[in-house]
Chain A
C-alpha cells in the first residue's frame, strides 16, 4: 500500500485546487479521470474545515454524507434488507469489477437535492462519489485494491445534440445519437517514470497534471544530481486507454433543411470500444469545452473552444423505429409493461390513451392512413388491421396459428396500389419493399453461400426473413416467377423458412405479414371472369391471403367527381387545410407500436356468440347448389383474426367491436357472381325462346317483366342491363338504347 499512498495524496491535493477554479472555465481533459482514480481516508475529510465548491454553497461534507446515505439506504423494494447499491458493491468485490453503475433515477427518487447537485456540478460531486466509494470499499473489503468508478446513467431528461449550448458546459448531460467514427485506441499516459542516464536512478512516479508531465530537471539521487539527464522509461509508465468517438444526430432529430450535428465523445478505460460505428447509443457524460491551442502566439488562445462529452456511461439503443416485440413472448401476461417511467414517455402514453378514448378513433385512424390517397376506406381498414397485427396462438399440442394477416390488392392500373404499398412500407415497424419482377425465390427467403475466405457455408437472409415481425411489401406480385411464388407458400402459412442445402438444414423465423399487389391478368379487370381467373394466381397461394381487395376503376361519376374535387382542392387551397383532423405519421407510428406491444384484447362471450352467428349465416348463404365456394373453417379462423385486430385498434380491452363483414369480399362476391350468371343464362334462354334471328326488337322492360315471372329472386334493371351488355359482347344480340335485337 505504501507506494500508492503518495499518488493518492497528490491527487487529493489536485482536487482541492480544482474545486477552487471557477465553474465555466474549462480545464484539461484528464480531470475527471483523475478524480475517479484518487482516494483518501474519510476521517481526514471530516476533520477538515468545511470545504465549499467554489461559487456555490455546496458543502463537500454535506454531499459526502448524502451520497453515503444514498448508497447505504437506497432500496428499490422496501422488503429488501440490503440496499440495492450495497448489493451491487458486494458483487463488484466478487468479480473484481471496476465501476458501479448508478441509476440517476434512483438518486432522484431518494434525494432530489443530490440529483440536482450532481447534474449541475458533476465534476465535484462525482469526485466525492468516488471518494466515498473508495472509502467504503476500504472498510468493507480491505483486500480490495481497485478503484471503483461511478458511472451514472438514465438522467431524467436527455438533451438534443442541437440544443447543447454554452450553459451546458460542465454539466451532466445525456445525448442520443449514432456513432459514426471511432478513433483507434490512444494510450494516454497517467504516471511516468524517469531514469537518470548517468547513474541509472529511477525517479518516483510522476503524475499527469493538467495534461502535462514535467520532466525532472535533475537527477533525484543526492550523489548524482546530474542536470538534464532524466529520460522517460516507457515500459514502466502507466497508460490508460482512451478513445475518441464522433456521435451524430439520428435522422428523426434533424429538422427539415438541416444537416445532422455531430459531437465528440471521449471514452476512457472500460468504455473504450463499447460502441462501434452505426450503433445508436444514449450517452451520459459531462459536456466539456477545451480551449483551442492556436499557433505559438498567446493572442488567440481562449477565444475559441472545442467541445466534447466526457463519457460516463454508454447505452446502446435498438435501432428499429418502433420495436415490435414478439407477440409470442407475451404469453405470460403483461409483466413488463410500462417500465419506462420518464415523464415524456408517460405524457406520450397519456396522449395515446386519450386518443384511444375518442369515439371516432377507428375512422380517424382510417383517415390518417395515406391521407393523400382518396377513398378506398375499406382497403385502408384492412391495411390497418395488418399493421396492428393479431395474436399468434400456440396450442398445447405445439401447433401454431399465425397472428399476422396477409393482404392482396388486385386492381386496375392507376388505382394507387403502389402508393399504398409505399406508405405502409414507411409506416411499418420493419419491412422490406420489393418488386415481384426483380425478386427471385432465394432473394425472398434465404440462401446459402460459401464464405470466400474460410470456405464455410453461410446462410444469408432474404427479404421475408429480414422483415420478420414486420411487413413485406411485394409490388407486381403477378409478374413474379412461378418458382419464386411457390416459395411463399410455407412462409405465409407456417411463418418459417426451411432450408435444406448442403451443409445446412435450418428453419428460420419469418413471422411476416405479406402485403402484395397485382394487376389483373388482362391488365384490366374483367367482370365476366372469376376473381381467380382475373388474378391468375394458383388457388393454393391465393388461399394464403386473408384479405383480397379488388380495386376496380369503375366508371362512376360520383367517384370521378370526388377525385376532381380532391385534386382541385389540392392545388388551390392551402395544403394544410386540405387534410384536417388526421394523425401525423409519428403519432400514428407511436399508436401502432403501443397497441402492438401492450394491447392483448380478449374475445368477449357476446362477440364470440356474434361471430358464430355470422359464421352460420354466411355458411347458409354460401350453401346454394352449384357453388364451389363454401365458407370453410379457415374462414372463421380468419374472422377471428379480424375481430381481434379490430378490437386492438380501439386499444381498449373487451370492447365490443363489430366486424366489418364487407371485408370478407371473396365469399360474397362468389355468390353475387353466381346470381349474375344465373340471370345471364335466364336472359339468354328467354331471348332464345321469344325472339327470332333478325326478328323485331324487344324492349328491355318487357324482358325484365318476363324474367321476373320466371325467377323467384328479385331482378333489378341494372343487373339485367349488365347481363345484356355481356350478351352483346358475345355477339348474341345488339342493344340500341332501350331496344334489343337478336342477330
Chain B
C-alpha cells in the first residue's frame, strides 16, 4: 500500500492509468463510460482520507508554485469566483487496440492517431481565487518538510542532475524513482520509452520556461483554473469555498496559444480561457473536492469537545476581551458577540432568517481611531474572512460594488461584494461627508441596502440582473444611527475607559476562534412550551407598545437563538430568553438616554 500511496501523491496520473487499465481488464466498456468514474477516485479517497495522506499533499499558492512539479498532486483552497461552463475533451481513445484515457490531464499521454476511435467526455471549468478577505492566520503554508520531500523524490532519481538551478526539475523523475516493484510501473516505463527522445528533451526546456514565466504570477493572490470531473453541476455553486485535491498541470505549449495570432473568425469562439493563460493561472484537474466551512480554516483545531463549562468559560473570556476593546462597555460586547455568531439559517420568500447586522453608533473621528481600529483588529484575528468597506461619497461614486459580467472576455468581473459565505464586513460610516451621489453611487447604496435587508447581491449581467443569496455579517460604525443602511441592531457605545493594552495569549485566541467557528454552525430548536411563552411575551409586548413590528420580533427571536447558541446549547431556555429581554431593555434605555 505504501507504493500506491506514494504513487497517488507523486504520480497521480500514473495511478489513474493503472486503475483505468484495471477497469478495462475487468470488462468495463469505455464506450459507455461517458466520463464516469471507474474506481480511480476510491483509490485516492482511500489514500488521502483513510490513510491520512492528505496532510502530505502540498498546498498550491504563490510561494509553493515555484517548486511544485507539474503532474503531481496538490491542494488548492479557494472560492469559486466564476464558472466558465463545460469543456469537451477526448476522454478515451483507442491507441492501436488498447483504450487510453485523457481524464485528469490536458495533454494526451500517448500520441493519438487521427483515425483512432475516440470518445468525447465533458468536464466543468471553475475559476477559483483565494477567498476574498482571508486573514493571514488562516493561510496554511506548505511546510518546509514537504518542500524537502519533493526534492527528495527528485534526488532519488538515478541520473543525479546537477541542481545549480533547483527549479529545473526533471519531469521524468517521479516515474523512474519508484523502482520497479509493481508490474504496472514497468508497463509505464515501457510506454514512456516509446515516446521520442526529443520529447524528453523538450520537457527540460519547458521546465526552464516555467521558471521564467513564474514571475508573471500575481505575487499574493494566486487564482486557479479548476477542472472538475464527476460532479453534478448543481453541486458546486458560485462563491462556494472549497478545497480541491487534484493534479497540477503545467503545459507551456498551451500558453503559446495566448500570444499566437488567432483566426479572425475565432474571435467569439475564443472564450474566457484565452484571457487566462496558463502562465498566469495554473490548471488543476480536480480529483476530489470538499466544501469548507469556517472551522476548516482553524489551523490547529484545539481538541476541545463541546463541554458546557468549557464553552461557558470561553464565552466569558471572549466577552471580557471584547469589553476591554470597547472601553469597558459590556452591553456592546454582548451585542458584538451575538453579531459575530449570526448566520443566515433559512430563507422564507425574501426574508433572510438569522442575520443580525449591528450598527454601533456614537463614534467620533477620535474615538474611532481608538475603539474602531481595535475592534477591527480583534475581528480580524477572530474570524477567517473579513473585509472593510470605506463608506465615502467618493468611493461610492467610483467603485463598482456589484460583480459584473464582461462579455468581451466572457468573464465575471469580481467586485467588493462578491464574498464567500460567512464573511464579516465592516462599513465605516464616520468618514461619510456631505456630497452628491451620482448614478453609480445611488446604485451602490441600493446594493448595500439590499445586502443588509435581504442578504442578497444583484449581479449585473448587463441584459438582466441576477440575485445571488449571500450570508455576510455586517457591522456599521457611525456617529448617529445610520439611516442609509438600516441595521437590525442599533447600539450607541459608551466607552468609559480609554483602551488598555491588548495582549492576549495565542492559546486564548485559538480557543476563541474555535468557539466562534463551531458555535456559529450549531443547530437550534425550541420546545413547544417555550414557544408558547415567547408568543405570550410577544403579544404582551405589542399590547404595551404598538410601534413594535414584525422586524422587532424577528430580531428578538434571532437574538434568542444566538444567546443560547453562545452558551453552546441547542435549545432556547427561559433563562436565555430572559437575557434577551434584559439586553433589549438595556439597549432601549441607552437609546432613550442618547435621545435626550
Q: Which residues on A are within 8 Å of B, measured CB to CB? A: 22, 24-25, 162, 165-167, 169, 178, 180-181, 183, 186, 188, 242, 244-246, 248, 250-251, 254-262, 264, 277-278, 289-290, 294-300, 302-308, 370-372, 414, 416, 553, 555, 557, 560-561, 563-568, 570-572, 574-575, 578-579
Asked if residues A570 and B348 are in contact (CB atoms below 8 Å), the reply is yes
The 10 A-B pairs of least Cβ separation, nearest first, read A257-B237, A564-B538, A305-B88, A244-B268, A166-B120, A571-B557, A372-B349, A572-B526, A564-B535, A295-B256
Quick check: A304 and B89 within 8 Å, CB to CB?
Answer: yes
Residues of B with C-beta under 8 A to A258: 83, 233-234, 237-238
Interface contact B264-A278, CB-CB below 8 Å = no
Query: A568 touching B268 by the CB < 8 A rule?
Result: no
Bound together, the chains give a CA A256 to CA B102 distance in angstroms of: 31
Give the complex CA separation of A561 and B462 in angstroms: 46
Partner of B539 from the list A166, A290, A557, A575 (CB cut-off 8 Å) is: A557
CB distance from B20 to the nearest CB of A (A): 16
The contact of A568 among B254, B350, B464, B531, by CB within 8 Å, is B531
Residue in B112, B114, B554 whose beta carbon sits within 8 Å of that of A567 in the complex: B554
Q: A166-B122, A254-B466, A257-B468 are in contact. Are A575 and B346 (CB under 8 A)?
A: yes
Additional 11 contacts, C-beta under 8 A, given A24-B118, A278-B463, A299-B108: A166-B35, A169-B120, A183-B267, A294-B256, A300-B251, A302-B108, A302-B118, A372-B348, A555-B543, A563-B542, A572-B557
Chain B residue at minimal CB-CB distance from A161: B85
In the complex formed, the residue of B with least CB distance to A416 is B550
B391 interfacial by beta-carbon distance below 8 Å: no
Interchain CB contact under 8 A, B553 and A242: no
Instruction: Evaluate contact between A568 and B557: CB separation under 8 angstroms.
Output: yes
Q: Decide if B268 touches A575 in the complex (CB within 8 Å).
A: no
Q: Is B347 interfacial (CB-CB < 8 Å)? A: yes
Chain B CB within 10 Å — which of A167, A416, A560 has the most?
A560
Please name all residues of chain B whose beta carbon is closer than 8 Å to the beta carbon of A306 when the two chains form the complex: 269, 271
A572 CB contacts on chain B under 8 angstroms: 524-526, 531, 557, 572
List, sorted by A's number, 14 A–B pairs whose CB atoms are closer than 8 Å: A166-B122, A180-B407, A251-B464, A259-B83, A264-B268, A298-B111, A299-B253, A300-B253, A414-B547, A416-B550, A560-B542, A564-B553, A572-B525, A575-B353
* Shortest CB distance A599–B (Å): 28
Q: Does B239 contact A (CB under 8 A)?
A: yes
Contact of B538 with A568 in the complex, beta carbons under 8 Å = yes
How far in angstroms is the closest Cβ of chain B from A690? 34
Q: Which A residues lie within 8 Å of B336 (CB)?
A: none
Given A294-B257, A414-B549, verify A567-B538 contact (CB < 8 Å).
yes
Contact, CB under 8 Å: B112 / A303: yes
Inter-chain CA distance A299–B195, complex, in Å, is: 12
Least distance between B186 CB and chain A CB atoms (Å): 24
B216 close to chain A: CB less than 8 A: no
Which one of A257, A289, A578 lies within 8 Å of B120 (CB-CB)?
A289
CB-CB nearest in chain B for A578: B348
Provide the B98-123 mask, 1 if CB < 8 A to any CB of A, else 0.
00001000111001101001111110
- The reply to whether B554 and A571 form a contact with Cβ atoms under 8 Å apart is yes
**A180 to B463 Cα, complex, angstroms:** 8
- For B85, B117, B347, the residue with the greatest tally of chain A CB atoms inside 10 Å of its CB is B85
B497 interface contact, C-beta 8 A: no
Query: A182's closest neighbor in chain B, by CB?
Result: B268
A639 to B319, CA, bound (A): 64
Whole-angstrom CA separation of A22 from B549 in the bound complex: 70
* Contact A305 B89, beta carbon cutoff 8 Å: yes
A305 touches B120 (CB 8 A): yes
A560 in contact with B256 given A166-B120, A571-B353, A575-B346 (CB within 8 Å): no
Residues of A within 8 A of B121 (CB): 166
Q: Out of B260, B269, B557, name the residue touching A295 (CB < 8 Å).
A: B260
Tell whether, in the assembled complex, residue B112 and residue A564 are in contact, meaning their CB atoms are under 8 Å apart: no
A259 touches B268 (CB 8 A): no
CB of A531, distance to nearest CB on chain B (Å): 21
Q: How far is the CA of A257 from the CA of B456 in the complex (A)?
A: 11
CA distance A262 to B411 in the complex (A): 11
Contact between B558 and A571, CB atoms less than 8 A apart: yes
| Cβ contacts under 8 Å, A178 to chain B | 463-464
Given A180-B407, A186-B265, check contact A560 B543 (CB 8 Å): yes
Residues A300 and B265 in contact in the complex (CB < 8 Å), given A257-B239, A258-B237, A372-B351: no
| B469 part of interface (Cβ distance < 8 Å) | yes
| Interface contact B410-A262, CB-CB below 8 Å | yes
Q: Does B82 contact A (CB under 8 A)?
A: yes
B-chain residues with CB within 8 Å of residue A300 when the two chains form the complex = 106-108, 251, 253-254
Which chain A residues border B596 with CB–CB below 8 Å? Answer: none
Q: Beyond A178-B463, A571-B353, is A256–B237 a contact (Cβ under 8 Å)?
A: yes
CA distance A289 to B90 in the complex (A): 11
Whether A303 touches B90, Cβ cut-off 8 Å, given contacts A244-B265, A414-B549, A572-B557, is yes
Q: Do the beta carbons of B353 and A244 come within 8 Å of each other?
A: no
A557 to B112 Cα, complex, angstroms = 79
Residue in chain A with minimal CB distance to B348:
A575
Of B87, B269, B466, most buried by chain A (CB within 10 Å of CB) is B269
Q: How far is the CB of B110 from chain A (nearest CB, A)?
A: 10
Residue of A nearest to B464 (CB): A251
Q: How many Å lie between the Cα of A139 and that of B89 in the bound state?
A: 46
Shortest beta-carbon distance from A299 to chain B in Å: 6
B534 contacts A by Cβ under 8 Å: yes
Contacts of A298 in B (CB 8 A): 111
Chain B's nearest CB lies how many Å from the CB of A316? 15
- Cβ of B461 within 8 Å of any chain A Cβ, yes or no, is yes
